[in-house]
Amino acid sequence: MPDRPHTPLLDQVTRPADLKRFSDAQLTQLASELRAETVSAVSVTGGHLGAGLGVVELTVALHAVFDTPRDKVIWDVGHQCYPHKILTERRDRIRTLRAKDGLSGFTKRSESPYDPFGAAHSSTSISAALGFAVARDLGGVTPEGLGDAIAVIGDGSMSAGMAFEAMNNAGHLKKRLIVILNDNEMSIAPPTGALSTYLSRLYTEAPFHELKAAAKGAVSLLPEPFREGAKRAKEMLKGMAVGGTLFEELGFSYIGPIDGHDLSQLLPVLRTIKARATGPILLHVLTKKGKGYAPAERARDRGHATAKFDVVTGKQHKAPSNAPSYTSVFGKALVDQAARDDKIVAVTAAMPDGTGLNLFAERYPSRCFDVGIAEQHGVTFSAALAAGGMKPFCAMYSTFLQRGYDQVVHDVAIQRLPVRFAIDRAGLVGADGATHAGSFDIAYMANLPGMVVMAAADEAELVHMVATAAAHDDGPIAFRYPRGEGVGVEMPEQGEVLEIGKGRMIQQGARVAILSFGTRLAEVQKAAEALAAKGITPTIADARFAKPLDRDLILQLAHDHEALITIEEGAVGGFGSHVAQLLSDEGVFDHGLKFRSMVLPDTFIDQSSPEDMYTTAAMNAPQIEAKVLEVLGVAKIGEKRA
């Protein structure tokens, strides 16, 4: 008899309810199909691969056991949620991940009721799950109902203070709440810190636990089959650390560690938790980042993030680069400064590669500190390093520095401590979308008394700004630069110390001046070429500093032109607002200056290519050109003036 064609189980799944029909053996089969589908999808979209592969079985088990979307599964960070998206009515769009108008690479409330809480920054899931649990118990109403609240948080994300603030609160409130600690012994880089060591100890010591009285507490939580079969129960329990864990001291029942790739462990344990849990429970699962896809398992970052790739070879399709990335320029420039000054130290919050500090760490391991996902601590730690006579470079993405803002104000700025903030991923970042946009740092740094704020217009300028920051001991200083490659300018042999608060002229023109802060300068120059063809030659200047402003330069530009336009890759309240304040204070508007400030619009811009996002933001060359024509009252060819 010919074999009946095999219909993949995944093809029979549109929503999690479909999983309820499957036997445990079929769920194992489904997991393997889900893994293959995840790899296939990411091979065409690029994105976060390793974390999702590590939670394939957990995703299947959670959706098979719990009743989402009534039960709220909250994925911390959300970068591991692609398998979850495939099972929750989004498989048909999974190959649009991270693209314009496509699925988000993270969980997003507006995208699906199966994403009860949006994320992308880490360590929020336990607070969110606790909020749902309390809302449930107080009679809160949502369209899908309110059932169990389940936070799935990685070992890296667990290191953040916020996770422990939530654990502390949850242990006190004693609500039924499930926290799943997904321990793969990886952050983006290998995790650092004492908590990571503690977690490793929990499971390296666990096999030595005997099935004794200590196991009693957990037995009531164990699945029936285990209680029935003494042998299996013993096997299960001897791998569990019961009693005395940090989590239990915080008021949680601790179960684990269990093998997060073994559905014969995950399913019964989750079923029992669902049937019997009363208060807060922490289930510790051990997984492997990149599991089941050899190129990811082999990669240094376990396939954390990838470009599009060939599934068979694992080879990534990366566009050749024409210029070094800003990140690597920063990393090298800092190493260069550090060679001349042994007081220079560097701090990263779990992003050594992303910030370029990996170069620094290789060269000066004892002067580089990866504090884990702990931006608040990283900033205050830097402040005290400065107070102790060191020269700290606190290198963080603009979006993540938001976490440490009170520390920037309270610990750094008020005390006028010379922390050097290297703010990477400034401006719109592309596929990671609105959660990762570095839109606010100009505003939130430049409004602080005593803070110097610079933006690099190109990669050579960045080298000068690193040198300037290294030399600046008189209070805090920040410099920002975008994700991606520089513009390909000639690089200086070494950085020059810039005069604080002085900009530079790029081109002398007439009628209109464009004052750029940051890397829009290249677009301004393109716009100027197009304007030249129309007989308009704008003056162009690079402000370099949003704080202190170059008053002389700005007042001169205002005096010499009928119109002044500022442009920056930041939200309202930043550079342009400071310039407007100066012009207003100086009475310049009273004399009829036409002023425009080009800033990011007052919306959160969804993922796309950075270029497209800047088109949405109306900040590319054609829009700059249009702004010049508008302010000068010149209609574009083919357009009638209103």
Dist CA 409 CA 399 (whole Å): 16
Pick from ligand TPP, Mg ion, ligand DXP, none: which does 305 bind, CB < 5 to 8 A by kind?
ligand DXP
120 labeled part of a ligand binding site: yes
The reply to whether 200 sits in an annotated binding site is no
Say which entry of Mg ion, ligand TPP, ligand DXP, none residue 373 contacts (CB below 5 to 8 A, set by partner kind).
ligand TPP
Tell me whether residue 88 or residue 306 sits nearer to ligand DXP (CB atom).
306
Cβ proximity to ligand DXP: between 120 and 564 the closer is: 120
What distance in Å separates the CA atoms of residue 311 and residue 42, rounded to the nearest whole number?
9
- Does position 42 bind ligand DXP by CB under 6 A? no
The smaller minimum CB distance to ligand DXP, of residues 202 and 434, is found at 434
Closer residue to ligand TPP (CB): 133 or 188: 188
List 289, 480, 483, 547, catalytic entry: 289
Nearer to Mg ion, 287 or 525 (CB): 287
Q: Could you tell me where the beta strands, DSSP code E, fall in 250-397?
A: 253-259, 280-286, 344-348, 368-370, 391-397
- Please confirm whether the linkage preceding 257 is cis (ω < 30° from 0): yes
Residues 6+ apart with CB under 8 A from 300: none
CA pair distance 26, 9, nearest whole angstrom: 8
The strands making up 280-286's β-sheet, listed across from edge to edge, are: 72-75, 149-154, 177-183, 280-286, 253-259
Under rule CB under 6 A, residue 305 binds ligand DXP: yes
Query: How far is Cα 539 from Cα 535, in angstroms, rounded to an integer?
Result: 13
Task: Give the shortest CB-339-to-ligand DXP separation in angstroms.
Answer: 26
> Is 156 among the annotated ligand-binding positions?
yes
Q: Please report, as ranges, the residues that interact with Mg ion according to CB under 5 A.
A: 154-156, 184, 186
Residue type, 42: V
Residue 189 or 512 having the CB closest to ligand DXP: 189
Q: How far is the CB of 78 from ligand TPP (least distance, A)?
A: 9
Asked if 405 and 219 touch (Cβ cutoff 8 Å), the reply is no
Torsion of CA 461, 463, 467, 470, to 10 degrees: 110
The DSSP result for 188-229, as a single string, is SSPP-SHHHHHHHHHHHHGGG--SSGGGHHHHTTS-HHHHH-
Instruction: Tell me 634's DSSP state.
Output: P
Residue 432 contact partner, candidates Mg ion, ligand TPP, ligand DXP, none, CB within 5 to 8 A by sort of partner = ligand DXP
Residue 561: CB minimum distance to ligand TPP, A: 43
Question: How far apart are the C-alpha atoms of 544 and 461, rounded to whole Å?
Answer: 9
Which range in 136-144, 405-413, 424-432, 601-609 contacts ligand DXP by CB under 6 A?
Answer: 424-432
| Residues in region 117-136 near ligand DXP by CB under 6 A | 120
375, 459, 568, 625: which is the annotated catalytic residue? 375
**What's the token pair of residue 18?**
């479909």
Encoded tokens for 50: 């390793």
The answer to the question of whether 184 is labelled as a binding residue is: yes
- Dist CA 85 CA 97 (whole Å): 10
Which residue lies nearer to ligand TPP by CB, 291 or 391? 291
Residue 503 assigned to a binding site: no
Q: Residue 52 in contact with residue 38, Cβ under 8 Å? A: yes
Residue number with the shortest CB distance to ligand TPP? 154
* Binding segment (CB under 6 A) for ligand DXP, from list 5-13, 331-339, 425-433, 549-557: 425-433
Residue nearest to Mg ion (CB): 154
Q: Minimal distance in Å, beta carbon 428 to Mg ion?
A: 28
Q: Report yes or no: 130 and 178 within 8 Å, Cβ to Cβ.
A: no
In the DSSP assignment, the letter for residue 306 is B
77 near ligand DXP, rule: CB under 6 A: yes
Chain residues binding ligand TPP by CB under 6 A are 51, 54, 77, 79-80, 121-122, 154-157, 184, 186-188, 289, 304, 349-350, 373, 375, 400, 403
- Give the Cα-Cα-Cα angle 205, 211, 215 (nearest 5 degrees): 90
Residue whose C-alpha is closest to residue 456's, from 511, 417, 495? 495
Sign of CA dihedral 627, 633, 638, 642: positive
Q: At closest approach, how far in Å is the CB of 480 from ligand DXP? A: 14
| Residue 460-499 contact track with ligand DXP, rule CB under 6 A, x = bound | -----------------------x----------------
Quote the least distance from Cβ 302 to Mg ion, whole Å.
9
Task: Indicate whether 403 belongs to the interface with ligand DXP (CB under 6 A).
Answer: no
377 interacts with ligand DXP by CB under 6 A? no
Report in angstroms how near the CB of residue 181 gets to ligand TPP at its nearest. 9
425 interacts with ligand DXP by CB under 6 A:
yes
Active-site annotation holds for 499 = no
Residue of 403, 425, 480, 483 marked catalytic: 403
Residue 289 appears among annotated catalytic residues: yes
The whole-angstrom separation of Cα 456 and Cα 301 is 29
Please name the amino acid found at residue 117: F
Q: CA 207: distance to chain centroid? A: 36
Q: Which is nearer to ligand TPP, 188 or 515 (CB)?
A: 188
Q: Please say which residue, 328 or 507, places its beta carbon nearer to ligand DXP.
A: 328
Question: Closest separation between CB of residue 483 and ligand DXP, Å?
Answer: 5
Q: Which two tokens stand for residue 371?
A: 């504090």
Distant-in-sequence, close-in-space partners of 391: CB < 8 Å, separation ≥ 6:
341, 343, 344, 345, 418, 420, 470, 473
Structure tokens at 289: 């980042």
Half-sphere exposure of 596 (CA within 13 A, CB side): 22
- Shortest gap between Cβ of 184 and Mg ion (angstroms)? 4
Considering the complex, what minimum distance in angstroms separates the CB of residue 159 from ligand TPP? 8
User: Residue 157, annotated ligand binder?
Assistant: yes
User: What's phi and psi for 490, nearest 5 deg?
Assistant: -65, 140
- The answer on whether 144 is annotated among ligand-binding residues is no
Question: CA-to-CA distance for 608 and 614, rounded, in angstroms?
Answer: 10
Among 295, 314, 354, 501, binds ligand DXP (CB under 6 A): 354
Place of tokens 């991940």: 97
Q: What residue has token string 């189980």?
A: 9
Structure tokens at 605: 């811009």
Nearer to ligand TPP, 117 or 614 (CB): 117
Confirm whether residue 169 is marked as ligand binding. no
Binding site listing for thiamine diphosphate: 79, 120-122, 156-157, 184, 293, 375
Active site residues: 289, 375, 403
Q: Which residues bind ligand DXP (CB under 6 A)?
A: 48, 77, 79, 120, 188, 305, 354, 425, 429, 432, 483
Binding site listing for Mg(2+): 155, 184
Binding site listing: 79, 120-122, 155-157, 184, 293, 375
